[in-house]
Structures are given as C-alpha cells and as structure tokens.
C-alpha cells in the first residue's frame, strides 16, 4: 500500500471519528456525516461498477451483477434515509385548550379471537383516559361474535358491535363500526393495545387545525419480542420495531408522510368518509388508508410519545406470519394504488411510500450478501474481482461511514450488528413472501397475530432454521477449504486476495447466523401475564399482623413482595395487601424465599379482583403517564455477551417456588429411611413444612421417606419427595412433610 493511500485512509477515519463523537447533538455535523457517508458509498460503488465485475464464467458474471445490483439498491435506500434525517422535526405540541368546544370521540377496539382477559385490560384502560366521559364512547368491534366478549362488554358498560359476516377483515370491521357511531373523531385501537391516561390530551388537540385528518402515536410493547425473549436479552436490546415506530415515523412527519400503523391513531370522521372509509381489498389496510387520506390533501401528524403499549408477537412463528402479512400487503397496495400514480401525493410522499415498499425486498438482498462469500470459498465462483489492497482503500471508508451514520440516526434504538441479525433471521421467509406475492399473487388472506400465547414446552424451529444451518455448514466447509489452500495448495486453488476478502465477509455473516439459530429455540412462556417492576410501598394485613412491605413486581394476577424477615411472626397463607393509594387486595401466598439482601420475598396470587381493584391495578401497571414501560434503549447490547447469556440462562424449565414458609439454612446430619433401608443424609434447609436434603439414596419424585434428626427435634418425620436433583454423585431432594401419609 502506497503512502498516499495510507494517508487517505487515516485522514478519512479521523474525520469520521470526529463526526461520530460530535454528530450526536450537532445537526450541522450530522449533515457533514451524511455527505461523507453518501460520498464514500458512491466512490466505492463507482469503483465496484467499473473495476470489479468478474468475467471468468457466466455463473460468476451473473453472481457478480446480482451482488452489485444489491449494493446499488442499498445505496438508493441510503439516499432516502439520509434525506429523512437531514433536518429535525420541530413539530410543536398542541393541547386540548386549543379547542373552543371539545369534539366527540368514538374509540373503536377491533377484536377477532384475542383472549378476553387481554381485551379487558384495553377496555378498562380506555375507560380511565383523561377525557370527559360524555364526549367519548367505547365500541368493541367483535368480528368473532363471541358470547364471552358480549358479557364482558355488558359488565363494563361499553358497546358490543358485531356484523353478519367478516368481509374485508379488520378494515370491514372498522367500516361497519363507523356506520353505527357518530363521533367527530374516530380512534382505532388494537385489542392488545393499552392506552395511557393522557392519550387524548397528547393527541386530540391537533384536530383544532381543520386541515389535520389523522394523528398517529407509536406502537410500543410491554413484553419482549421473540428476539429479546428467546435470547434472554430483554434488558439489552429494544423491540425490533422501535427504530421504525419512534425514529422513522417522526422523520416522515416532516414531509406529511406519516404512515398509519393500524392502532394508536385518531381520524377526523369527515376525512375517512371522503375516501370511502378504511381501505379494503388489501391485507395492510392501515398503510393504504393513511396514503389515500394524504393524497386527498389532508395534513397528518405523528406524536412521538409512548401513549399506548401492547403485545409484540410472542413466538418467532407468529412474528414470521405477521411480517409475511405486512410484506404481501405492501405489494398488494402498490398493485392497487401505486404511489407513483396516485394523484394528490407530493414528490416526497411518493418517494417515501415507494421506499417503504422497497424495504420489503431486504430479504432478497440479504440472501445475496449471505450467499456471495460462500460461492467463492466453497464453489470457487468469483463474485468480486479485486485486490485486497484496492478493496481496503474503497471499502473501509464506505463501511465505517455507514456504521457511524447508522449509530447517529438510531439514537440507541438499534445497532448495525443487530440489524444484521434481524435481517438474517427474516431473510428466507421475506424472500419467499415477496416473490410469491409478485409472481404467484397470493390469496391475500388476513391472518390475525396470536396474542396471549402460553406454553410449557421448549421447541426448536427446524423448518425455519434449515436455511441458516445450511449456510453455517457451508461456511465451515469454506474455512476448511481455505486451510487446504494454504497448506495443501495442490488440492484447492484459491486466490489469496479473494480469500482475505471472503474470509472476513463470511465471518461477519456467521456472527449473525449463530445468533439467529439461538433465536429459533422457542422458550416456554409460563405466565398468563407479564410481570413489571413496580416500586411501591405497601402493607400486608393478616389478622393480628401488620407488616410493612415493598412491591418488587406486579401484574393483575399477582405480585412479588419484599419484607424485613424479622417482621414475619407466623406462617402466611391468605393476606390483604394494601398498596399505597389503592384498595385492599386479597392475595394467596404461593411461596416464600430469601433474596440476596437477606430480606424475605413473598410470591402472592390475586384469586379475583373486583371492578374497583382492577381499575386500580391497570393504571398502576400500564396506563400511568409516568410509566416507562415500552421505553428503553440498547444497553450492553454486544452480541458476545448476549450469546454467553443465552447459554448461561437457558434451562429446561424455571425453578418453581412453592414454599409457604421461610426455610432456615442449616447443615445437620440425619437418618433417612427409604424402602426398608436406612441411609445417612444431610439436611440443607428446614422449616415446619419441609426440608431439602442431600443423600446417596436414589430417590424419585413422589417417594415417601422418613427423617430422624434429633439435633433438630425431628423424630420419624414422614415426608413426600417433591423434586429431585443430582449433582456430583449426590441426590438433592425437596421434602414436604405430611401427617396424612402412613410410612410402610
């Protein structure tokens, strides 16, 4: 490498480093970064186009052109993204005080087959919104026409709206609801989306401008999506959709191109009626509806605040079905209402909608990037004809500038390494969806994403993972061929320059592929509802006891409490829990344990909450305006720590806690009687209810045993084995004492 080339690289990297450190808060430096990013990318692509296309064979030529085309398509997307982030969104908040007379509002909750408990949360949260009760009505639009939903609506005092058929799926459901309602503003809310109390106050004021047709707030999620959940990374990475929902939508708002995303949106009824209601004939009625309203000349608004939280797809299978629907729906929209031909849209609106549709080709592009290095290392097919030095000179500034640009615009909502993981995971399915919809014209069936999934089983998605596993195996074959080329060159003929290029490339791909395979291990979901960290003072009331406590986490089904061990004077079974500011909650004690700080933790279950109690718990967890549920940034989001965490945290099943009283940690010798034989044992912990023992006896679950430990006043204490664990030749067993069993 020549001196001037080294100087060029050093200067370029120094300038880019400066942009990285100072571009986060300075819009001018961000713009300089954008110019450098697009400039370096263009230099690289011009060099690629003019100097690197292979000519050795027809297969190489085709593969080389496919790769180059993919890179140019990525550059076009980069131009659009750069345009979005060129300037800030300076939209000002408009409050309800801007109205002379507050408008009437219809809250449409679309439902088909969601669990009733999930629907109940949404309805109650809607009832608790800070807006005059006489000015808004809640309509549960039940396309499942279910009796239990009708009973729920009757009990909660909201309208239950049904129709004779399910024509046009969700869009038809909402359009029917509009025919039986009269509100000036129509709100669409998915059955799992729980609005916060300030939802109306933060959004409705924009309708004081007669030009505004719809207002969109982002979708945020209170549970971990399959990427977070299956990788045990909920505290490391954001929901995969956060970057689009909270960053791209905000930037599209600058150009009056906010995309309607199906929920958390408010519409001026007049604007909806002018376009004939919610768009039908496509499976992404939301995108089409928003675009048609904008084409009709209306203004739209994006409010970048988390004002409602819902359920992300809970399994990777469901996530794939959801993205398949979105992908196919976008192609259907361009087929029926091509943005380039839709009159009334501005140039930027057309560009942004076409870019949104173009995005769904990412699966095909990612496949090219995943397969290209394998073609050379395994099959000897050249896809890029360049020297290693030339590639470094052109590629390094382009690559580093793209990483810095992505980091600056994402604002900790996503990283490029995780984008590689996401795209790699979805690539095969999205490629099939896009190709089949274009060439086979799929049936356009609207599939509702499952909600409230609960399973006790772990499973591996073999079908979804087959492509990725094949790529990993081929990559390993490629590494072996490189070793042969180095040490036994007469067996394998590979060019050294091409080896360097493709080795780095395939290694980068492998990092993502290994994480993807981990994602395909679907974890069980045991809980009927998510638990949330809620720090509140409370009091346990139990007959003559009054125990100060802290709420550690809470759901509408139960809680984890923390109390001073010295405060517990007797065994707790059924208690009354007084959380500050709310009514007393009857709770059943399910387990008692000690935490690392030496305090006693108590797990409780709420058998049944009455209306008043439920209306206290829901805002305490979900709909409080100060809640941070659904708002997080990438923290410690490295791929290696995540992979390590996956292996260290993966278990067949979680350790169950069923103790009703606190066990005392001891170490005392005992005599174990089992199957007419006697064994020595060590008691590890002990309470009036049971014990944990260590022994050489081959115990099994449900066996009956007898313990004698004079030091602890145990004499012929009969117990039942509740669990067994083996370690280093010893058997550890949990024993529950019982007076009802006869020991033979």
CA-to-CA distance for 231 and 522, rounded, in angstroms? 9
With CA atoms as reference, report the closest residue to 139 among 171, 116, 161. 161
CA-to-CA distance for 230 and 591, rounded, in angstroms? 27
Position 412 pLDDT exceeds 50: yes
Q: Report the CATH number of the 96-314 domain.
A: 3.90.550.10
Are 128 and 158 in contact by the 8 Å Cβ rule? The answer is: no
What value does the mean pLDDT take over residues 365-387?
93
What value does the mean pLDDT take over residues 119-128?
96
Position 131 pLDDT exceeds 50: yes
pLDDT value for 446: 60
Which residues of 614-676 form beta strands (DSSP E)? Answer: 664-674
pLDDT value for 2: 80
What is the SS3 assignment for 666? strand
pLDDT value for 499: 87
Position 245 pLDDT exceeds 50: yes
CA-to-CA distance for 511 and 400, rounded, in angstroms? 18
Are 306 and 220 in contact by the 8 Å Cβ rule? The answer is: yes
Are 684 and 664 in contact by the 8 Å Cβ rule? The answer is: no
Which class does domain 664-737 fall in?
Answer: mainly beta
Please tell me whether the overall predicted TM-score, pTM, comes out greater than 0.75 for this model: yes
What would the pLDDT profile of 133-186 be if each residue is shown by its tens digit?
999 999 999 999 999 999 999 999 999 999 999 999 999 999 999 999 999 999
Q: Which two tokens stand for residue 2?
A: 């020549």
Are 316 and 230 in contact by the 8 Å Cβ rule? The answer is: yes
CA-to-CA distance for 594 and 598, rounded, in angstroms? 6
pLDDT value for 368: 97
From the number of C-beta atoms within 10 Å of its C-beta (0-12, 13-18, 19+), residue 432 rates as middle
pLDDT value for 79: 97
pLDDT value for 664: 66
pLDDT value for 120: 95
What is the SS3 assignment for 684? strand
Mean pLDDT estimate for the chain: 90
Do the two domains 527-662 and 664-737 of this chain adopt the same fold? yes
What value does the mean pLDDT take over residues 238-267?
94
What would the pLDDT profile of 690-731 be if each residue is shown by its tens digit?
888 999 888 888 888 999 988 877 888 888 888 888 877 888
What would the pLDDT profile of 579-598 be if each residue is shown by its tens digit?
988 899 999 888 888 877 77
Are 15 and 36 in contact by the 8 Å Cβ rule? The answer is: yes
pLDDT value for 744: 47
What value does the mean pLDDT take over residues 534-552?
85
Q: Which two tokens stand for residue 103?
A: 């408008």
- Torsion sign across C-alpha atoms 303, 307, 310, 312: positive
Position 452 pLDDT exceeds 70: no
- At residue 434 the predicted structure's pLDDT band, cuts being 50, 70 and 90, is very high
246: Cα separation from own chain's centroid: 14
- At residue 662 the predicted structure's pLDDT band, cuts being 50, 70 and 90, is low
Are 377 and 482 in contact by the 8 Å Cβ rule? The answer is: yes
Which helix (H) or strand (E) element contains residue 723?
strand 714-727
Q: Domain residues of the chain, as ranges? A: 3-84+362-522, 96-314, 527-662, 664-737
**Which CATH architecture does the domain made up of 527-662 adopt?**
Beta Barrel (2.40)
Of the listed ranges 74-78, 637-641, 694-698, the least confidently predicted one is 637-641
pLDDT value for 282: 92
Position 247 pLDDT exceeds 50: yes
What value does the mean pLDDT take over residues 477-488?
89
What is the SS3 assignment for 67? helix
What would the pLDDT profile of 333-358 be if each residue is shown by its tens digit?
999 999 999 999 999 999 999 999 99
First to last CA, the chain: 86
- At residue 675 the predicted structure's pLDDT band, cuts being 50, 70 and 90, is confident
Buried b vs exposed e over 586-611: b needs ≥16 C-beta within 10 Å?
bbebebbeeeeeebbbbbbebeebee
What value does the mean pLDDT take over residues 483-500?
83
DSSP 217: -
What would the pLDDT profile of 193-237 be if each residue is shown by its tens digit?
999 999 999 999 999 999 999 999 999 999 899 999 999 988 888
Position 439 pLDDT exceeds 70: yes
Position 259 pLDDT exceeds 80: yes
What would the pLDDT profile of 8-45 be if each residue is shown by its tens digit?
999 999 999 999 999 888 999 999 999 999 999 999 99
């Amino acid at each position: 490498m020549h001196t001037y080339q080294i100087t060029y690289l050093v200067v370029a990297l120094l300038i880019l480093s400066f942009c990285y450190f100072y571009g986060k808060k300075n819009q001018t430096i961000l713009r300089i970064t954008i110019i450098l990013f697009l400039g370096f990318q263009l230099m690289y692509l011009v060099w690629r186009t003019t100097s690197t296309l292979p000519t050795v064979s027809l297969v190489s030529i085709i593969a080389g052109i496919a790769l180059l085309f993919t890179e140019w398509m990525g550059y076009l997307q980069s131009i659009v993204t750069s345009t979005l982030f060129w300037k800030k969104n300076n939209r000002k908040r408009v409050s309800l005080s801007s109205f002379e007379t507050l408008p009437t509002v219809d809250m449409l909750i679309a439902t088909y087959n969601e669990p009733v408990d999930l629907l109940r949360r949404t309805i109650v949260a809607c009832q608790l919104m800070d807006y005059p009760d006489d000015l808004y009505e809640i309509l549960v639009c039940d396309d499942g026409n279910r009796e239990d939903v009708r009973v729920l609506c009757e009990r909660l005092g909201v309208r239950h709206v049904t129709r004779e058929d399910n024509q046009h799926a969700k869009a038809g459901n909402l359009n029917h609801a509009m025919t039986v309602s009269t509100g000036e503003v129509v709100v669409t809310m998915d059955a799992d989306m729980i609005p916060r109390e300030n939802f109306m106050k933060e959004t409705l004021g924009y309708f004081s401008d007669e030009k505004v047709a719809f207002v969109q707030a982002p979708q945020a999620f209170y549970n971990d999506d399959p990427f977070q959940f299956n990788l045990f990374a909920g505290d490391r990475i954001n929901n995969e959709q956060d970057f689009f929902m909270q960053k791209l939508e905000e930037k599209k708002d600058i150009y009056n191109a906010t995309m309607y995303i199906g929920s958390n949106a408010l519409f001026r009824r007049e604007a909806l009626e002018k376009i004939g209601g919610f768009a039908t004939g496509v499976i992404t009625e939301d995108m089409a509806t928003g675009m048609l309203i904008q084409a009709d000349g209306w203004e739209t608004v994006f409010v970048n605040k988390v004002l409602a939280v819902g359920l992300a797809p809970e399994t990777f299978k469901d996530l794939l079905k959801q993205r398949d629907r979105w992908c196919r729906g976008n192609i259907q929209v361009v087929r029926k209402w091509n943005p380039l031909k839709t009159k009334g849209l501005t140039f930027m609106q057309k560009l942004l909608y076409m870019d949104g549709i173009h995005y769904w080709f990412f699966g095909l592009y990612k496949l090219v990037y995943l397969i290209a290095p394998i073609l050379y290392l395994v099959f000897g097919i050249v896809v890029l004809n360049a020297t290693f030095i030339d590639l470094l000179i052109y590629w390094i500034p382009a690559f580093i500038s793209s990483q810095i640009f992505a980091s600056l615009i994402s604002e900790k909502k996503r990283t490029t390494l995780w984008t590689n993981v996401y795209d790699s995971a979805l690539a095969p399915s999205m490629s099939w969806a896009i190709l089949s919809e274009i060439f086979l014209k799929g049936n356009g069936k609207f599939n509702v994403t499952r909600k409230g999934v609960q399973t006790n089983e772990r499973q591996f998605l073999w079908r979804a993972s087959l492509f990725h596993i094949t790529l990993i195996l081929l990559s390993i074959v490629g590494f072996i061929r490189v070793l042969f080329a180095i040490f036994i060159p007469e067996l394998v003929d590979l060019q050294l320059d091409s080896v360097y290029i493709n080795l780095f490339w395939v290694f980068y791909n492998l990092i993502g592929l290994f994480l993807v395979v981990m994602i395909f291990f679907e974890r069980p979901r045991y809980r009927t509802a998510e638990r949330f960290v809620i720090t509140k003072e409370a009091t346990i009331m139990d007959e003559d006891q009054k125990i100060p406590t802290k709420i550690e986490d809470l759901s509408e089904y139960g809680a984890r409490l923390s109390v001073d061990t010295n405060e517990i004077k007797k065994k707790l079974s059924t208690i009354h829990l007084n959380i500050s500011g709310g009514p007393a909650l009857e709770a059943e004690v399910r387990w008692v344990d000690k935490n690392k700080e030496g305090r006693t933790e108590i797990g409780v279950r709420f058998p049944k909450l009455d209306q008043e109690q439920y209306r206290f718990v829901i805002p305490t967890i979900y709909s409080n305006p100060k809640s941070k549920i659904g708002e997080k940034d990438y923290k410690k989001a490295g791929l290696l720590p995540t992979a390590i965490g996956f292996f260290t945290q993966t278990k067949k099943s979680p350790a169950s806690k069923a103790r009703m009283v606190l066990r005392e940690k001891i170490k005392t010798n005992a005599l174990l009687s089992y199957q007419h034989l006697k064994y020595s044992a060590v008691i590890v912990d002990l309470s009036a209810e049971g014990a944990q023992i260590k022994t050489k006896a081959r115990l099994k679950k449900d066996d009956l045993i007898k313990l004698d430990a004079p030091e602890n006043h145990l004499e012929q204490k009969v117990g039942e084995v509740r669990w067994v664990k083996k370690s280093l030749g010893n058997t550890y067993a949990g024993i529950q004492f019982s007076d009802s069993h006869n020991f033979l």
